[in-house]
Copies of this chain bind each other. A is one copy, B any other.
């Protein structure tokens, strides 16, 4: 991390208009360029696994913590300081843009997002308006603070994908089987398409705010989309996800796409417009590369549960991941899903250092 610049340029930006992070291992890997070492970051690296996070969040509800720029900045920086990861991920929640446009929802501890009035009919569409930068001033402010602090360390912007947002809105909360969501998707395809299209606009606007403020990559999380078969994804989800990716193209900001349990969808998720496809631990990276095809980098994919098995096992499984990644055009090391809350943070720090050592060129 570097100090704020004193040149009058936007913080984190170089003379040539490129961000200070442009030549980082992470962004180089996203662009499939040679890297000094395989870059590493972890989904949910900022969060419950860190005692300093739990302390900072004490008594502060989740949604409120996403709306306080100094808090967001500190939470986002904590894992960068502690683990020496190659990228920061903007601390936010999937439902933040929905809250910002006035949807009545809350994040209940131990449950997740709960929407007061679930979406089920065409009339509900009127509750979705596009997001304006002025709806999320705290995002712009936090990212300004962050890029100044981060210097050459890239900041990854963050948003939930239309399908996952729709699932929360339609179910009214987290759901194991997504019955209501699929009932709408299969039963009223036109309303479904309109709903996803509006969510695509909101998501794109939310990511554009983050890019304008200085995020140097974005990750679109489709947490629940692994519940769909490929034909349904292509027909009912891909147009909306593609709209988001299209809207944020042309900024020189790599676009990452991830969902857990999406082995069957990897090719389509790349096709939707991702530059980097995230892979969960169920699919070896070499097989993922076959499914995704050329011209994309891959991100992943150590099983987060491996971190409970002791150092030797972690190193062995890490070598397996690196070995499967050997032929890739670009590889960003990550877990195959988010850091589990009870993970020992020291195991994560050691893992970053181990990947760096093993891949130093």
Contacts and interface: CB of A to CB of B under 8 A. Distances in A.
Interface string A302-313: 011110111001
Interface stretch (A68-76, A173-181, A244-252): A173-181
Interface in A263-284: 263-264, 281-284
A187 interface: yes
A308 B305 CA distance: 34
A183 B284 contact: no
A230 interface: yes
Nearest to A184: B309
Contacts of A263: 263-264, 282
Contacts of A306: 182, 186
Interface of A, helix, strand, loop or mixed by DSSP: helix
Interface residues of A, number: 38
Given A177-B304, A231-B284, 14 more contacts: A180-B308, A182-B308, A183-B310, A186-B310, A186-B313, A227-B282, A228-B282, A229-B281, A229-B283, A229-B284, A230-B284, A261-B261, A264-B282, A264-B287
30 contacts: A177-B304, A177-B340, A178-B305, A179-B305, A179-B342, A180-B308, A182-B303, A182-B305, A182-B308, A182-B309, A183-B305, A183-B309, A183-B310, A185-B309, A186-B305, A186-B309, A186-B310, A186-B313, A186-B316, A187-B310, A227-B282, A228-B282, A229-B281, A229-B283, A229-B284, A230-B282, A231-B320, A261-B282, A263-B264, A264-B287
